Amino acid sequence: MKQILILHGPNLNLLGSREPERYGTATLDEVNRQIAELAQSKGVEVVPFQSNSEGALVERIQAAPGRYDAIVMNAAAYTHTSIAIRDALLAVNIPAVEVHLSNIYQRETFRHTSRIADVVIGQVSGFGVQSYLLGLLGVLSHLERHEPVPETRGSRINTG
């Protein structure tokens, strides 16, 4: 069964009470439940992790190879500042999708720059909780299209 790491960055533990007009009223537990329900319907497992610490997020990314098939990540404010998260995503070479609850391009100018956009396979922003679900569907579609070809052991081509 495919396993997808769901990473939530700083302040996402405050969902439901933090700026509900911008981020909605769903709590992080409710977001994780919706993600898990969609994953189950697709026959995959998700493992959520939230941290306000950049280092903890980097460590989870670095531990991902061999454990997870892909990453769906809302790096939150670290999206705009963290070269460490960018470099970790690049180093592990695992397909990742960047998600945001709000449309970062309709917000303050400093939020228009994503430090991770060039190392992820896609970006979804502005759809609230649906951004996570769309990100999960996107990364699953990517995995289906890029499924490794099974090796055929012991077969040889006779050229003579």
Select which of 8, 78, 100, 132 is catalytic: 100
Distance CA 146, CA 111 (A): 31
Among candidate residues 8, 23, 78, 132, the one labeled active-site is 23
Using DSSP, state whether 2 is helix, strand or coil: coil
Long-range contacts of 113-117 (CB under 8 A, 24+ apart): 113/80, 114/79, 114/80, 115/78, 115/79, 115/80, 115/81, 115/82, 115/83, 115/85, 115/86, 116/73, 116/75, 116/79, 116/82, 116/85, 116/86, 116/89
* 23 assigned to active site: yes
The verdict on whether 68 is a catalytic residue reads no
DSSP label at 150?
Answer: P
Question: Of 57, 56, 142, 53, whose CA–CA distance to 97 is shortest?
Answer: 142
| Catalytic residue numbers, as ranges | 23, 100
